[in-house]
């Protein structure tokens, strides 16, 4: 376990014994050779006085060492794709989150190394992957089965108790909401005018779950009712502060991260939306670039679908995605609004750059 290699004495024993369990728990460098290695490297054992320990490749390289060509510590994740694929299947079929130690043992890695390799390969931690996969299974099952009980068993749960106990944490809403259009939920909403027309903001108890733009407020409300057909929808005057925050955000995108969000989607969709939120205001990217960023270069169409299903205008800035040739791609709330948002952000970025130069 990673906790077994916290001190230099423990780490040196692992290096001296070429302990495979140390895996990627740490790295060591050798002053006389100028290289850094994995603890189980098969190279000649160095003298203790020449050894330093590091927590990452970046740490070792900042100290001036280069990667060993024998154990290739900087390519540690490349040889574990099959093991990670197996782990994903195990996690995807599990009723409860598998123990990290068990997953690591299946992969033949230390828990610390497995955690690092898994996150590098999938973009999320094993725990986050489990929650997203369970959420996806439940959503699919609840839309296909006549009863919640049948749905949860079809989704891979062995009992209803654990399912209901963690349903809100996994789904961000009452479990029956996906099956019955929001039954059992109270969704507050409000309308306001903004520079892009009418904005509708809706929120569950967990946070803002919808931001829509349009020309007709009544049409936006109808769309919201269709999405949450059986929820209790309330035009709440006390909700106006959050509506005002969204209106202000349209003019100042930097305020987007201050809003509590109830983002609902599959693991892949959430990865895409997280990538969108990382794009600076005034900048743009492409579907292909996001696919490459997520290490799934062939998933350009899947990225495009995830962008198109975004229900949170501006706060999850799908307007910052353009085609590879720079042309405006489709936008759920109209290409004209997309162009207006990009123009607004571009002007502000230029203004901020000029102000920074003056300082």
User: What is the rounded CA–CA span in Å between residue 212 and residue 197?
Assistant: 10
Strand-pair partners of 30: 35, 51
> Which residue matches tokens 């670039």?
289
Q: Any idea how long the chain is?
A: 359
Query: 300: alpha, beta or left, given left = phi > 0 and alpha = psi -120 to 50?
Result: alpha
Sign of the torsion angle spanned by Cα atoms 73, 74, 79, 85: positive
Out of 37, 41, 71, 88, which one is annotated catalytic? 37
Reduced 3-state DSSP string for 163-183:
HHHHHHHHHCCCHHHCCCCCC
Instruction: Report the SS3 class of residue 300.
Output: helix
Six token digits for residue 94: 């599990």
Residue 37 annotated to the active site: yes
In the 8-state DSSP scheme, what is residue 15? H
Q: CA–CA distance from 251 to each of 11, 94, 280, 320 (Å)?
A: 53, 45, 14, 15
Sign of the torsion angle spanned by Cα atoms 7, 100, 275, 210: negative
Burial label, 122 (beta-carbon count in 10 A; 0-12, 13-18, 19+): buried
In the 8-state DSSP scheme, what is residue 44? P
Strand order in the sheet with 51-54: 51-54, 27-30, 35-37, 66-67
Helical (H) or strand (E) element with 147: none
Gyration radius of the chain over CA positions: 25
Residue 318 annotated to the active site: yes
User: What is the rounded CA–CA span in Å between residue 342 and residue 125?
Assistant: 33
Q: Catalytic residue numbers? A: 37, 318
């Amino acid at each position: 376990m990673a906790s077994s290699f916290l001190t230099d004495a423990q780490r040196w024993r692992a290096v001296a014994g070429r302990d495979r369990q140390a895996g990627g728990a740490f790295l060591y460098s050798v002053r006389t050779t100028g290289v850094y290695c994995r603890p189980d490297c098969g190279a000649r054992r160095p003298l203790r006085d020449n050894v330093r320990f590091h927590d990452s490749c970046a740490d070792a390289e900042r100290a001036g060492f280069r990667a060993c060509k024998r154990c290739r510590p900087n390519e540690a994740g490349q040889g574990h794709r099959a093991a990670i694929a197996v782990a994903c299947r195990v996690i995807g079929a599990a009723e409860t989150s598998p123990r990290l130690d068990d997953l690591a043992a299946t992969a033949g890695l230390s828990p610390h190394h497995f955690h690092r390799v898994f996150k590098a390969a999938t973009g999320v931690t094993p725990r986050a992957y489990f929650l997203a996969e369970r959420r996806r299974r439940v959503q699919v099952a609840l839309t296909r089965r006549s009863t919640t009980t049948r749905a949860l068993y079809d989704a891979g749960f062995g009992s209803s108790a654990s399912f209901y106990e963690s349903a809100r944490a996994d789904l961000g809403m009452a479990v029956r909401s996906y099956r019955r259009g929001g039954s059992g939920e109270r969704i507050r909403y409000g309308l306001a005018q903004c520079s892009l027309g009418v904005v509708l903001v809706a929120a569950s108890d967990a946070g803002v779950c919808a931001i829509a733009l349009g020309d007709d407020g009544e049409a936006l409300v109808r769309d919201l009712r269709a999405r949450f057909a059986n929820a209790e929808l309330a035009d709440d005057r006390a909700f106006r502060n959050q509506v005002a925050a969204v209106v202000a955000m349209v003019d100042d995108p930097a305020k987007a991260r201050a809003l509590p969000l109830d983002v609902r989607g599959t693991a892949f969709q959430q990865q895409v939306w997280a990538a969108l939120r990382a794009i600076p205001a005034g900048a743009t990217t492409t579907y292909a670039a996001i696919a490459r960023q997520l290490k799934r270069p062939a998933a350009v169409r899947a990225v495009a679908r995830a962008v198109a299903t975004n229900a949170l205008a501006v706060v999850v800035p799908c307007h910052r995605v353009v085609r590879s040739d720079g042309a405006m791609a489709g936008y759920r709330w109209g290409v004209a609004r997309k162009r207006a948002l990009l123009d607004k952000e571009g002007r502000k970025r230029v203004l901020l750059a000029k102000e920074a130069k003056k300082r």
